[in-house]
Homo-oligomer: A and B are copies of this chain.
Amino acid sequence: MSQQSWQKLVEWPLFIAAVLFLAAYSWEVIGDLHGPEAVFAESVIWGTWALFALDYVVNLALAEDRPRWFVRHLLDLAVVVLPVLRPLRLLRVVTILTVIGRTAGAMLRGKVILYAAGASVLLVYVAALAVLDAERGNGGSIESFGEGLWWAFVTITTVGYGDFFPVTPTGQLVAVGVMVGGIALIGVVTGTLASWIVERVSETNEAEQVATKAHIDTLTEEIRALREEIRQRA
């Protein structure tokens, strides 16, 4: 069995596992669960973990150039073998984005914006969960999911009022992820708007439009017609 066919096979199961994991983790963190409910949520979380670990092992076994695959997927390894880093487990949610991105096909400008917006909302939600999990009861100021959401929005947009901020190392690690996401978000929004403005400006004056392949094709047709004419006259 090739690596491609395995990846195709597990694409949707992994997607569903990631959604299940997100649901169980959300329930556990937001509900601040204890007793049998916490045990159940934890079971789901560890079950999806097992699926991701299995996927990692099978991928490694099937890879054509195993050392190269290993080096290029160190992040995947970290996510699988470091479940002590509780918030990092949320990186599995990236699977959701990958699947959505693949079905999106060609990347038109509108889709880039939609994808960036979707990824930002998912990042804010996941970061609010992770920071709440890390900070609650550890002396930080973030004590409810609402506060976590508010903190994540204030951070991803790089506003940073300072009314809430993480104080635990895990929470600060989550924050760095959100900040980097914020920079990328600004980059995507800006880049898309820039490409749109450049196009809009060039449209207003036809003679100053950038020459496109269509223009060159017209020219080539002209030359071919000339050639044909010479051939007939000769």
Is A219 interfacial (CB 8 A cutoff)? yes
Which of B160, B192, B229 has a CB less than 8 Å from the CB of A160?
Answer: B160
Please give, as numbers and ranges, the residues of chain B lying within 8 Å of A175 by CB-CB distance: 153-154
CB 8 Å contact bits of A163-206 with B (1 = contact, 0 = none): 10101010010011001101111111111111111111101101
In angstroms, Cα B177 to Cα A153, docked, is: 10
Tally of this chain's copies: 4
Which of B204, B210, B217 has a CB less than 8 Å from the CB of A107?
Answer: B204
Do B220 and A214 touch across chains, with their CB atoms under 8 A apart? no
Do B157 and A200 touch across chains, with their CB atoms under 8 A apart? no
Do A226 and B229 touch across chains, with their CB atoms under 8 A apart? no
In angstroms, Cα B158 to Cα A186, docked, is: 11
CB 8 Å contact bits of A215-234 with B (1 = contact, 0 = none): 11111101111110111011
Please give, as numbers and ranges, the residues of chain B lying within 8 Å of A146 by CB-CB distance: 169
Please give, as numbers and ranges, the residues of chain B lying within 8 Å of A230 by CB-CB distance: 226, 229-230, 233
Name the 3 nearest CB pairs between A and B, nearest first.
Answer: A191-B194, A159-B160, A162-B162
